[in-house]
Amino acid sequence: MNSGELNTSQVMRQVIYALGLGVGASFYFFGWGVLIQIVLGIVTALVSESVFLSFRGLPVKPTIADGSAILTAILLAISIPTMAPWWIIVVGVTFAIIFGKQIYGGLGNNPFNPAMLGYAFLLISYPLQMTTWGSDYVNIEQSINAIFNISSVDILTGATKLDEVKMQISLGTHIENLDIYSLSQSWINAGFLVGGLYLLIRKIIYWQIPTAFILGIFATAGLLFLIDDNIYLPPQLHLMLGASMLGAFFIATDPVSSSTTPKGRLIYGFLIGMLVVIIRVFGGYPDGVAFAVLLINIAVPLIDSYTKPKVFGK
């Protein structure tokens, strides 16, 4: 039986296409790094999944063809610094595929978002490499040199905007004296926002998670901003910084690890949005999307069992 609608691998492909705009924005501002990371990530994902599947004695081709490993690789590749050394993405994707997905029995059985599990693993294990971001456009030659460590390249590096702001605030600087706007990050976020809207229109993702996610960020950040606008960023900035839009439309919406009931999706999204801000503001890490998603992934079975929809006639 087939409804003529998209099948699972077509869904994955659509999600990959929708990432295009955000990736394009990243390319425009930071150069070739992002594309090299994506290629490295995809190759690693295909190799590690094939190897693991053959260890498990399962057919390789149909599973690879579902596109989920490729999507995981891309999501992780665009989350790490564009100039991170090559082994970062290789280690991260391998971990994500094997320990984030295959070890639970493959696609559909993983309780955690594999890409975010890989990200969290990298951030904890290699904090230096994971928080050093390039801050300028880098051409292809320089990118290859930097990523593969062929020769030392003079690239302007620094912390992300969120990191920088946090540091300044902790030093006692008032927000009004800080340059809190980041053109590149706003454009990248806008790119993911448009891609996400495309997925919504195609009905590939449901509106509940992104809406609640954004609402969660806005409400939590707004509350803090009302309490003290000297040390807390305005809520609209939280939305356009870091991985907010990527998280709202592409990461939290991973169907496998997210809540599956309509009401549950609202709760799930909102809690993640809330945690993102709390981790950003009070936590030790610059961005909170990965940890927030993983933490609320744990709560999914509980959320689902309390949000069963009304059954006809009951």
Partner 1 sequence: MYSDLYKGGVFISNPYPIDDVGIKKTTLPNKVILPLNERMTEKATPCVKVGDLVLTGQVIASNDDFNSVPIHATVSGQVTAIDDHLIPHKSGFKTQCITIQSDGKDEWVKDENSTKDYWKYPQSLLIEKIHYAGIVGMGGAGFPTHIKLGLSQNCSTIIVNGTECEPGIMCDDALMQNYPSQVIKGVEILLHICGAERAIIAIENDKPDAYNSLLINNNNDRISIAHVPTKYTSGSEKLLTKTILDKEIPSGDFAIDVGIVCLNVATVKAIFDIIIEGKPLVSRIVTVTGSGVSKPYNYEARLGSSFEDIVSLSSPNKLKHDVRMGGMMMGIDVPSTDVPISKTCNCIFINNRVAKDTARECIRCGSCNQACPVGLLPQQLYWYSKSEKTDKAVEYSLFDCIECACCSYVCPSNIPLVEYFSFAKALHRNTSEEKRKANIARERFEYREFRLERNKTERAQMMEAKKKAIKEKMAKEKSQKDKITKAMERVNTNKKNKINE
Q: Measured from the CB atom, is 33 or 114 closer to partner 1?
A: 114
Residues between 119 and 158 that touch partner 1 (CB under 8 A): none
Q: Measured from the CB atom, is 282 or 312 closer to partner 1?
A: 312
DSSP 85-121: -HHHHHHHHHHHHHHHTGGGTSTT--SS-HHHHHHHH
Assess 50 for contact with partner 1 (CB under 8 A).
no
CA distance 263 to 284: 32
CA distance 263 to 225: 28
Assess 1 for contact with partner 1 (CB under 8 A).
yes
Q: Give the chain's end-to-end CA distance (angstroms, integer).
A: 30
Of 17, 54, 56, 62, the one binding partner 1 (CB under 8 A) is: 62
Assess 172 for contact with partner 1 (CB under 8 A).
no
Cα-based torsion angle of the residue sequence 118, 78, 17, 13 in order, rounded to the nearest 10 degrees:
-20
Assess 287 for contact with partner 1 (CB under 8 A).
no
Of 54, 55, 56, 108, the one binding partner 1 (CB under 8 A) is: 108
Residues between 187 and 246 that touch partner 1 (CB under 8 A): 206
CA distance 239 to 147: 30
Assess 10 for contact with partner 1 (CB under 8 A).
yes
CA distances from 24 to 38, 163, 184 (A): 12, 23, 11
Of 260, 263, 278, 283, the one binding partner 1 (CB under 8 A) is: 260
Residues that bind partner 1 (CB under 8 A): 1-3, 5-11, 62, 66, 68, 106-109, 206, 255-256, 258, 260-262, 304, 308-314
